[in-house]
Amino acid sequence: MSNDGKNLADIVKNVHRRLRQELHKTGDLESVWINHCRNVPCLKKYASSMHKLATEHWEQLRVSNPATSRINWTWSFLQYYFFSGGLQQHRQKSNSDTEWPKLILNESKVAVLDVGSCYNPFGEYEELDVLSIDLCPALESVYQCDFLNIPLGKTTVIDGQSVLSLATNQFHCIVFSFLLEYFPSPSQRWTCCEKAHLLLLREGILIIITPDSKAAHSNSKVMRSWREALSAIGFKRIKYEKLQHAHCMAFRKNSVESVLKAEDRELLASKMYIPQDFYNPSDSENEEKDEIKFTEAELAEGFTNLPLFDE
């Protein structure tokens, strides 16, 4: 990546780092997030940097090496699942006696909610009906929305360029691409995934893409922990692939909302951790160098998560 690209990436990572530092300092997750959402100059600089990074640097890589693109990966999976028999295959694999209702597409389009979209990269596909939202949009085609705190109801309400509420059981697919690591707390990531489960139609798909340039097995412990937490919500991971710079996962909504005890929710939410959660917030260099340590058994288990393994 060019120096310009590295500088843009540093701006993005520094915002994430400052959020973790503020949480470590105050311990008040709610106030940290509220203050962040009110910091308009910071949000605009982040949005501009992410937009430029994605369109001027990642797009070049997408053209020169399509196999590295999270956009290409997501589109390929949605084609397979909704238009090439994937949904029917996973119904058969589920070994369920459930009378599956027909998953109806509106005008043969897949309803997609792209959360943290920034620049609406999936808007180019005619087969997708995309609602793109972001805390601070970089383009007019993206609507302003704090997904963490957005009310859910019977209808999706949009006022101008802002989304005021989202309808439950409405979307065929929800995309969290480079979203969850933005949040400084595992509980916030868990809340986002719980909301996704409520917003998806049954058999809908949650796509989660999280950055990681290390080898496929290096953070397999993290990916396994996420899989366990999401399973408790009612998601089954049906696709995993490690690209050069990211983990790409597809989760299928298999069940209606589960009722969890408060203590169970707290334990499960803690499973949505990322390696950076455990670094000393004052030591920024460690975030680039360290990684979670594994036992030999855990390392061996990681090799079952190598690219192209379906579950």
Indicate the annotated binding residues: 116, 134
Query: Reduced to 3 states, what is the DSSP secondary structure of residue 239?
Result: strand
Cβ–Cβ under 8 Å, residues 194 and 233: yes
The pair of structure tokens assigned to 54 is 């994605």
- How far apart CA 82 and CA 85 sit, in angstroms, is 7
The vertex-135 CA angle with 21 and 170, nearest 5°, equals 125
Please state, in angstroms and as integers, the Cα–Cα distance from residue 167 to each residue in 41, 152, 162, 164, 261, following that order.
30, 6, 15, 10, 25
Tell me the sheet residues that pair with 162: 144, 159
Residues contributing to the annotated binding site for S-adenosyl-L-methionine: 116, 134
Alpha helices in 117-257 (DSSP H): 186-199, 220-233
The pair of structure tokens assigned to 112 is 């997609």
Tell me the sheet residues that pair with 175: 114, 207
Please state, in angstroms and as integers, the Cα–Cα distance from residue 213 to each residue in 29, 245, 247, 251, 289, following that order.
28, 4, 9, 22, 12
Q: How far apart are the first and last CA of the chain?
A: 34
Contacts for 116 with CB less than 8 Å, ≥ 6 apart: 133, 134, 135, 147, 176, 177, 178, 179, 182
